[in-house]
Amino acid sequence: MLGAGHDHLVLFHESDEDLADQVYEYLFGRGEPGTAILVASSEHRRLITDRMARAGIDISAVRADGSFVALDASGVLAGFMVDGWPDAAAFWRTMSPVLKRAESRPGEVRVFGEMVTLLWDAGQTGAAVDVEALWNELARQYSFSLLCVYPASSVATAEDADDVSHVQAAHSDVLRAPPGVN
């Protein structure tokens, strides 16, 4: 749903280790210059940076040169949620400076965002779908590719089917659907 040549992908992951491997490959597997923006929970930031370190990436160096930005998903959410719903203007004020800095660097900008997972897991499925739409709006202004994830186990109930359908429709591609959902 992003601009030409850019993706908004979704992955329904099976485990935290699966998530860390998939996100690492998405952010760093391209083997060319670019900027990786990681918006994740503290546990997932640790797992992903551990994976980066095992691959020989000097995390201090990539942070210092601006090619890797790690943000706390809860903190970012707190910057734009109002009464349990995302405020579009606050979302833009929160994410635009990060994307603008990334765009000023050479290469592709890739973002991993876990804010929707936090909302979904808190029972705020409608707010998660709204955040997906806000990312699509932001992509009309900035050039980036985005990977969103949801734990497969958290979207497996029949009562979530409509919201899962909306989540899938908000993305340009589903890398891995949850079991029993196409």
The tokens for 140 are 């009309």
Question: Which domains, ranges and CATH numbers included, belong to the chain?
Answer: 8-173 (3.40.50.300)
What whole-number distance in Å separates Cα of residue 134 and Cα of residue 131? 5
Give the residue with greater pLDDT, 69 vs 164.
69
- Would you place residue 1 in the very low, low, confident or very high pLDDT band (cuts 50, 70, 90)? very low
Burial (CB count within 10 angstroms: exposed 0-12, middle 13-18, buried 19+), residue 40:
buried
What is the chain's alpha carbon radius of gyration, rounded to the nearest angstrom?
Answer: 15
For the stretch 74-91, pLDDT in tens is 999 999 999 999 999 999
104 Ramachandran zone, left/alpha/beta (phi>0; psi -120 to 50): alpha
Strand duo 173-176 + 8-13: pairing? parallel
pLDDT of residue 4: 38
What pLDDT was estimated at residue 86? 97
Across 64-76, average pLDDT: 96
Q: Look at the alpha carbons of 1, 138, 165, 17 in this order and tell me if their dihedral is positive or negative.
A: positive
- Under the banding of pLDDT at 50, 70 and 90, the label for residue 110 is very high
pLDDT at 166: 60
**By mean pLDDT, which of 32-36, 48-52, 170-174 is the weakest?**
170-174
13 vs 18, higher pLDDT: 18
Question: What's the rounded Cα separation, in Å, for the pair 101 and 32?
Answer: 18
Under DSSP, is residue 1 helix (H, G, I), strand (E, B) or coil?
A: coil
Compute the mean pLDDT over every residue in the chain, rounded to the nearest whole number: 85
The predicted structure's pLDDT at residue 69: 97
Query: 118-139: per-residue pLDDT in tens?
Result: 998 898 988 998 998 999 899 8
Q: What is the pTM of this model?
A: 0.85
Asked if residues 8 and 178 have their Cβ atoms less than 8 Å apart, the reply is no
Instruction: Say yes or no to pLDDT of 172 above 70.
Output: no
State the pLDDT confidence band at 149, using cuts at 50, 70 and 90: confident
Q: Is the pLDDT of residue 63 over 80?
A: yes
pLDDT at 31 over 90: no
